[in-house]
Amino acid sequence: MVATVGLEVRSGVESRTSTEAAPPVQAQEWKPKIVAFLCNWCSYAGADLAGGSRTKYPANVRIIRLPCSARIDPKLVLKSLEKEGVDGVIVSGCHPGDCHYTEGNYYARRRMLMFRRLMEFLGIDGKRVQMSWVSASEGAKWADVVAQVTEEIKALGPLHPQETANAADHQ
């Protein structure tokens, strides 16, 4: 439901290009962190509805509100992945056809499709950046998206395993 909305997940290609190490053993204690870029009108309102309905979901996600998914600069996604401790990104906007600014989500979709190629090139698993359409009435869907992406990222392990291990040593 999540990753495949409008984006082809080509798992075969990814598994060949992925250079990521297998999840380290200490991953049991490790909690992934996910940055979520949400458009103001649909997905942010959907997340608000999830809150209003007290729908529980994993606490791994940090939402950053933007006016439209078209404001989600791929550089922001890249910056997030670069950032130590961040393991994945969710990009979410209005359903196709429902954009508050008429067509912003189509731009976002195309940009994320391009971005996926860059990720392949970098050897980062495509599942670390997932796109979804969540409308203002889909609080439950937002909770599902977070739960599902969190699970998938957990299965992949930390994106910055060395740093995470160092951080654990210091504590």
Partner 1 sequence: MARIGVFICHCGKNIASTVDVERVAAQAAELPGVAFAADYRYMCSDPGQRLIAEAIEEHNLDRVVVAACSPSLHEPTFRGCIEDEGLNPYMLEIANIREQCSWVHDDREEATEKALELVNIARAKVARSHPLLRSTIPITKRALVIGGGISGIQAAIDVGLAGYEAVIVEREPSIGGRMAQFDKTFPTLDCAACILTPKMVTVARDKNIKIYTYAEVEEVTGYVGNYTARIRVRARSVDPDKCTGCGSCWQKCPKKVDSEFDQHLGDRTAIYIPFPQAVPRVPVIDRDNCIYFQRGKCRLCERACDVGAIDYEQEDQIIEEQFGAIIVATGFTLFDHSVYGEYGGGQYADVVTGLQFERLVNSCGPTEGKILRPSDGKPVKTVVFVQCVGSRDREKGMEYCSRLCCMYTAKHGLLFKEHNPDGEAYVFYIDIRAAGKNYEEFVRRAQEEFGVHYLRGRVSRIYEENGHLVVRGADTLAGMQVEIKADLVVLATGLIARDDAVEVARMLGIPYDQNRLFTEGHPKLAPVETVTSGVFLTGACQAPKDIPDTVATASAASAKALGLFSHDCLESEPMVAQIDPALCSDCRACVESCPFGAIEEIEWRDMMTRQMRTVAHVIESLCHGCGNCTVACRAGAPNLSGFSHEQVFAQVEAV
In angstroms, rounded to a whole number, what is the distance separating the alpha carbons of residues 142 and 135?
Answer: 9
Shortest Cβ 125–partner 1 spacing (Å) = 20
Task: Point out which span in 20-28, 100-108, 118-126, 157-165 binds partner 1 (CB under 8 A).
Answer: 100-108
128 makes contact with partner 1 (CB under 8 A): no
Task: Point out which span in 7-15, 64-72, 119-127, 153-161 binds partner 1 (CB under 8 A).
Answer: 64-72
Which residues, other chains included, contact 76 with Cβ-Cβ below 8 Å and sequence gap of 6+?
A: 37
If you search the block for the tokens 């977070």, which residue do you land on? 146
Which residues from 140-159 bind partner 1, rule CB under 8 A?
143
4, 15, 21, 59: which one binds partner 1 (CB under 8 A): 59
* DSSP assignments along 56-124, one per residue: ---TTEEEEEES-GGG--HHHHHHHHHSTT--EEEEEEPPTT--TTSSHHHHHHHHHHHHHHHHHHHT-
97, 117, 155, 168: which one binds partner 1 (CB under 8 A): 97
Separation of first and last alpha carbons in the chain: 38
Contact 30, 39 (CB under 8 A): no
2, 7, 35, 112: which one binds partner 1 (CB under 8 A): 35
Q: Which residues bind partner 1 (CB under 8 A)?
A: 33, 35, 41-42, 44-45, 47-48, 50-52, 54-57, 59, 62-68, 70-74, 76, 79-80, 83, 85-86, 97-98, 100-104, 107, 111, 135-138, 143
